[in-house]
Chains A and B, each alone.
Chain A
Amino acid sequence: MPSVGRNIPHDSARGHVTGQSKYVDDLPFARNELIVDFYWSRVAHGRIRSVDTSAAAAIPGVAALFTYKDLPGQNLFGPIIQDELLLAEREVLFIGHPIVVIAADSREAIRLARNAIVVDIEELEPIFTIDAAKKAQWHLGESRTIRRGEVAAAFQEAEEILEGQWRCGGQDHFYLESQAAVAYPGEHDALIVHSSTQNPSEVQEVIAHVLGLPINKVTVVTKRMGGAFGGKECQATHPAAIAALVALKTGRPARIVYNKDDDMQITGGRHPFQNDYRVAFTRDGLITAAAIDFFSDGGAYADLSTSVMGRAMTHADNAYFIPNMEITGTVCRTNFPPNTAFRGFGGPQGVATIENIIEEIALRLGRDPLEIRMKNCYGVDDRNVTPYGQPVTNNTLPRLFTECAERSEYYARRAEVARFNRESKTHLKGIALTAVKFGISFNTKFLNQANALVNVYLDGSVQVSTGATEMGQGVNTKIGQLVADELGVDASTVLVMITSTEKNNNTSATAASSAADLNGGAAVDAARRIRTRMTEVAAGHLAAASEGELTASTADIVFAEGQVYDRRSAGRKLKFRELVKICHLQRVSLGERGFFATRGLEWDPVAYVGTPFRYFTKGCAASEVLIDRFTGMMRVLRSDILMDIGRSINPGIDRGQITGGFIQGMGWLTNEELRYAESGMLLTHSPTTYKIPNIQDVPEVFNVDWIDNATNVVNVAASKAVGEPPLLLAISVWCAIKNALSFVSDGKLDAPATGEEILMRLANQKPETRN
């Protein structure tokens, strides 16, 4: 039986439930190991007058103190724009900016050393808002524009025009396992670094860069992460580089693990956005033009912000065909920690903006927002090209809208919500059905490549290594299934190995939902090459064994169920492992390196036109909420999700991704609010004050399903990426809140819609309620 399509448990399932799964900080302490931490700026913007580490150096147990002057390589780095200083030199640009690296025998000594370091900083005016950055023209990278059609003319001829501003807050990744790395010194300046990272190759490159080493001297290893969600791409480079610096300089193993409060304060998260929009539409609700200006808060350094903005812009259309469209994107620079990748990568901010606009249009016209959505939905045969020029092929959106509305009994429940709101004096209900169309592939073309190493051993067991990193999303399980099917063996005989730059070089981040697509593709390529060679051997062997009955024919060789046979004589079967032995005796290679590069991508990163995505993952969700009018407290009564995820490689894992992504999106849009002191210090830096969804926040009725769709043949096993898209379906919850509020107010709402935000909107409620 093929493994693909089956609910094979996560390959770490047993380890997870028995406590045997190892995370970076679970590595036993090595002899002579040093604990590493750093002194970070408590000032958001300032000029460093002096740094005095002499008292700290005298503390027993302190092994080393380093500033930027001690870096053997380059202090300046960055994934897209090289603008970031690993260790502050003359200026600090955010709270959390590392200034002095401390290495010691004990945490006690680290704490004492941190208190003994004297850094004199002259405080400068900080910038904390998008408005202030706009005024100061403090940006990261260039503004970009997507333009299609005759926007100005369309506005001139418009029957209706709406304009406004919509804002959403940031989000802390709150991976339960904080940032961590352990660096072990090797011979001749070589280093082995265990890092909790989504991007071992980037960590490797940054370490080599800041330490002035050739890249081949640095090996980065990632077994797994205790959650990442985008927060362990670029932001994992800092702790790893700092630990590596200590290991290189002291010759001792060096471990760094952020505590949760520090992690939340000093690493960036999802970008807050503040968007201005204008939209033109007919009295029937057909959108004729839209102009959206996106402004994000990138924090102090560029990190991935320009790329995140690109994805926001290419998702501003979401499921809707808008013939005339102008979308601009500007990343504002502020004195917060650099914001970075976070599941959805700008997509959620782009999609939420247009979904809010749709709700506004419906309110203006007094119509059902779902009607507006379906009216403007991308067509199957026409009206199906995005503003940046990519056709929407295999368009299942109209079907998803219809089926999701049916399954969720949307229309009946919408009427019931209106009835409830007329009668209840204490509560409000709201309902909304929103869609997602999420582009799959890295926006940056060259990142869409992967390599894989497959080794077959003499007993027929198989090892696979790729650049994909496991953070709970089950990528390794899926890759194992794909390889097992390629070789016709049971998935239990295929082991997906620890990720290491030693085996897979120059890999891309496990990100953009694409890890299984890319690395799975590469692993399949490697396995297929091995199978091709084994097929030759099998054909010859089976023909010889048939005593003249068969001629050798590779086209007739079948690999299935751990056996190999000629389909013309299916009774005579070779065990897979027997064939392996025969191949070995015949000196046929049983190892292979595979490669995969996504085809058909074309993207002009300046003009913003082209085909940046291989395909789209799509979905709809209907959510209903209940709001307490006296407290603002909100509960999600029911959510119905219906997605098009192609043919699922592992339904159990995909279900988990959909459920978990949706819940995480709910957090962003409802409870998770980052609050800062006037100094720019994050106040909500622990789960006491920063409320991620808990088990009681899950929709009371929660239906998750997907349609049958085998048409996505452009991707491995006709599957579709599923990591990020469901997060955006949580926008249905936010829209349902907006819908509820619209019964008693103008419906204006920003995100997150915390209880407090809801209560404030309720307090401004209009005197007459709307029926």
Chain B
Amino acid sequence: MKDPEKPLEAHESDNEKRAEVSRRDFLGTSVVLTAGACVAPILFNKSALASEGAVPGGPISSAVDVTLRVNGTAHALKLEPRVTLLDALREEMQLAGTKKGCDHGQCGACTVLVDGRRTLSCLTLAVMHDGDEITTIEGLAGSDELHPMQAAFIERDAFQCGYCTPGQIMSAVALLREPCGASDDDVRECMSGNICRCGAYPNIVAAVQDVRRSKTT
């Protein structure tokens, strides 16, 4: 076993795995976690510094300036182009309410709103959102105490462990402005991208419908 990543490629049938490994390699390389990155309001991603020392086979550093408008606040950041929006939120802006489940765009835990539309933040690069209006679970209620969807989730016990909940709520809020039909089935269709291992689904449907009904009456 010379190279731990290599044997994977021996499984020719397993194309998907190879695709994922390369995605992890691609995206995983760019986030660097250092103490400094956590405290300064304007953040300099240290991978730029780390890779200046010409790491053999390492990435070429190309940190760029980007301004992310998150929950109404502008964050001026220096980010490598490969940093996902999810990692930028969690690790550069200390907004840990957006959760990382699969990191592959398959579970919905990382859902945020970009200009009002739901977006899987693990599947999009932070630098692509320069100037966009991003809303995360932390900013959803604005100056109110709770967004009606948050209140409905509490009212309906629409969670257990809570890990999928921020993503569920962001999807549900986006759904309110989407052309989603009126029935429970329609809600299920529109919410099918957010999985919940605790199985809080029936209560999630109920919470979403509560909010939709209160809007139309």
Interface presence of A33 (CB below 8 A): yes
Q: Is the CB of A60 within 8 A of B55?
A: yes
Q: Is the CB of B33 within 8 A of A35?
A: yes
* Contacting residues, chain B, for A61 (C-beta < 8 A): 50, 55
Count of chain A residues with a beta carbon within 8 Å of a chain B beta carbon: 90
* Contacting residues, chain B, for A60 (C-beta < 8 A): 50, 53, 55
Contacting chain A: which of B2-10, B62-70, B113-121, B123-131? B2-10
Q: Which of A33, A119, A176, A692 contacts B161 (CB 8 A)?
A: A176
Interface presence of B38 (CB below 8 A): yes
Interface presence of B73 (CB below 8 A): no
Interface string of B161-201 (1 = CB under 8 A from A): 11111100100000000000000000011011011111111
Q: State whether A114 and B94 are in contact (beta carbons under 8 Å apart), knowing that A14-B154, A660-B160, A687-B195 are contacts in the complex.
A: no
Classify chain B: how many residues form its interface, as a range.
35 or more
Q: Is the CB of A696 within 8 A of B189?
A: yes
**Interchain CA distance A32-B4 in the complex, whole Å:** 28
Interface string of B192-213 (1 = CB under 8 A from A): 1011111111111100000000
Interface presence of B78 (CB below 8 A): no
Interface presence of B157 (CB below 8 A): yes
Q: Is the CB of B141 within 8 A of A18?
A: yes
Q: Which of B98, B161, B199 contacts A19 (CB 8 A)?
A: B98
Interface presence of B138 (CB below 8 A): yes
Interface presence of A334 (CB below 8 A): no
Q: Is the CB of A43 within 8 A of B138?
A: no
Which residue of chain B lies nearest to A265 when distances are taken between CB atoms in the complex? B17
* Contacting residues, chain A, for B163 (C-beta < 8 A): 23, 175-177, 226-227, 472
Q: Is the CB of A653 within 8 A of B5?
A: no
Q: Is the CB of A224 within 8 A of B38?
A: no
* Contacting residues, chain A, for B205 (C-beta < 8 A): 695
Q: Which of A19, A120, A260, A695 contacts B138 (CB 8 A)?
A: A19
Interface presence of A15 (CB below 8 A): yes
Interface presence of B153 (CB below 8 A): yes
Q: Is the CB of B96 within 8 A of A112?
A: no
* Contacting residues, chain B, for A260 (C-beta < 8 A): 101-104, 107
Q: State whether A227 and B96 are in contact (beta carbons under 8 Å apart), knowing that A107-B32, A688-B16, A696-B192 are contacts in the complex.
A: no
Interface presence of A550 (CB below 8 A): no
Interface presence of A30 (CB below 8 A): yes
**Interchain CA distance A43-B3 in the complex, whole Å:** 12
Q: State whether A224 and B161 are in contact (beta carbons under 8 Å apart), knowing that A108-B51, A176-B101 are contacts in the complex.
A: yes
Q: Is the CB of A16 within 8 A of B162?
A: yes
* Contacting residues, chain B, for A117 (C-beta < 8 A): 4
Q: Is the CB of A660 within 8 A of B199?
A: yes
Which residue of chain B lies nearest to A31 when distances are taken between CB atoms in the complex? B35
Interface string of B1-37 (1 = CB under 8 A from A): 1111101101101101100100011001111111101
Interface presence of B142 (CB below 8 A): no
List residues of B whose CB falls within 8 A of some A CB.
1-5, 7-8, 10-11, 13-14, 16-17, 20, 24-25, 28-35, 37-38, 46-47, 50-51, 53, 55, 57-59, 90-91, 94-104, 106-107, 109, 136-138, 140-141, 146, 150-151, 153-154, 157, 159-166, 169, 188-189, 191-192, 194-205
Can you name 9 A-B pairs with beta carbons within 8 Å?
A25-B100, A42-B7, A115-B4, A176-B161, A177-B163, A260-B103, A686-B104, A686-B106, A693-B199
Knowing that A108-B55, A683-B13 touch, tell me 6 more A-B residue pairs with CB under 8 angstroms.
A18-B141, A19-B95, A472-B163, A473-B160, A657-B160, A696-B188
